[in-house]
Amino acid sequence: MMFRLALISTLFVSASALSGPTESVEGKKIMSKARELNGQYEEDLSWMTKFSMKFQSCHSIHSWGGEAGGGGQEDGVAHGSQHLVNFALCPSGQKSCSGGGEYVVELSEFVQAYTEAKKESEEAQCEAVQESCNCNYYDDEDVCFSGCYSKAGLDFCVEDENEFEIEDYLECKEAEFQNNYYQAYYIGPVCSSNGKAIHLELFTDESCSIAAKSGTYEKYNYSASLPYSKQSMVSNDLVSCKQENDDNNNNNGDDANANNNNNGNNYYEEPEVVEMCEQLYEEAAKCEKNLKYKNSAYRDTGSCDYIQKVLPALERVYHKNGGGGAATGFAIFFGLSTVAASAAAYYFFSKVERSTVDLASKEGNSFA
């Protein structure tokens, strides 16, 4: 009886997990159908301009089959680690995230979007300083600009040829050094032990699942520490999802000059959504039970159980079984449940499909 209850619980967890980010073979098939269905309608995301994005936590769980975290095989046998990021959309101007939504995406997707957005923001700040920095009469323009950057507190604007390129390691990739025996090492992003940060870590395998011995990076890099091994790759600060307009920046809060800066055209321009917010939102599992500014009929609550109940449970199992190197028996047990879990997931997918079609027939202009 206890075994039957355990099996039923496992099937529920496995089936529910497929409603969130997944890399299992069966999960890919089901999620591809869901994306095809949702792709029939283009959702209006203008409401997102009233929100700011906030990194909340990072989670590690076991992956089954697929390629996540080094599963690497499509035969449903191999298992490894899957890293997920939980982020929130919080109403802008609030100190709390009350009235916001909760979302989960793959760690690699989050750090790629975040890093790209951060780089674009920094480049824009550097260009703004250059435009206001009068270096026309200086023999060495770079020295002049460097002084302006320093005054503005933008030290990142000064280029360093030896600077570590974080963009190269947003996914597991071979490091640019080897040991004395020509053994390759790999660098990739991982969740911190408390889940409150994302770090880079050194590994001995190409799937970034076997951590290298402490001090290995320092040994072959002149005692220098691996960047972001202690400092988080992402910030907990709120990032506005509203695209700043250049004209608005030039106004400097002076409404009297608004017409001049808009070439005399007095009209309202619809604000745009920051690409990072739009990209991550489209890829994420969603829980929007209490989301403001979005019609309750269009709120996506399909992954609330996964985000709030299933994911924490899977992470507890992950850490209890020693992280990525879980016991073979654990993997086999999950393997036996794959077929039944897939059937259950397909049942839930069918319900989503029917509800989406019903919504389309009622409103005529449905959202994904």
115: phi then psi, degrees, rounded to nearest 5: -65, -40
Task: Work out the pLDDT band at 356, boundaries 50, 70, 90.
Answer: very low
Element (H, E) at 86: strand 79-91
Residue reference for tokens 């090492």 = 185
Calpha distance 61→306 (Å, rounded): 13
| Per-residue model confidence (pLDDT) at position 206 | 92
**Average confidence (pLDDT) over 81-107:** 95
What pTM did the predictor assign? 0.72
Element (H, E) at 276: helix 275-283
**How far from chain centre, in Å, is Cα 16?**
20
Q: Are 60 and 83 in contact (CB under 8 A)?
A: yes
Sheet arrangement for strand 51-64:
239-240, 51-64, 79-91, 101-106, 285-287
Radius of gyration over every alpha carbon of the chain, rounded to an integer in angstroms: 24
How many residues comprise the chain? 368
pLDDT digits (tens, 9 = 90+) for 128-144: 988 888 887 777 778 88
More confident of the two residues 255 and 121 = 121
Query: Helices (DSSP H) in 133-215: which residue ranges?
Result: 141-151
Element (H, E) at 33: helix 25-38
- Number of C-beta neighbours around residue 258 at 10 A: 13
The most confident of the ranges 94-103, 126-135, 259-268 is 94-103
**Over 50: is that where the pLDDT of 348 sits?**
no
**Average confidence (pLDDT) over 110-120:** 94
Calpha distance 244→252 (Å, rounded): 12
| Per-residue model confidence (pLDDT) at position 324 | 58
Task: Work out the pLDDT band at 350, boundaries 50, 70, 90.
Answer: very low
Calpha distance 368→357 (Å, rounded): 11
More confident of the two residues 165 and 141 = 165
Note every long-range contact of 118-122, with CB atoms under 8 Å and residues 24 or more positions apart, other chains counting.
Answer: 119/167, 122/154, 122/156, 122/157
Within 8 A by CB and 6+ apart from 327, the residues are 321
**Over 70: is that where the pLDDT of 105 sits?**
yes
Calpha distance 202→215 (Å, rounded): 10
3-state SS, residue 126: helix
Q: Are 163 and 145 in contact (CB under 8 A)?
A: no
**Average confidence (pLDDT) over 250-269:** 48
Please state, in angstroms and as integers, the Cα–Cα distance from residue 326 to each residue in 135, 176, 191, following that order.
Answer: 60, 30, 17
pLDDT over 90, % of the chain: 43
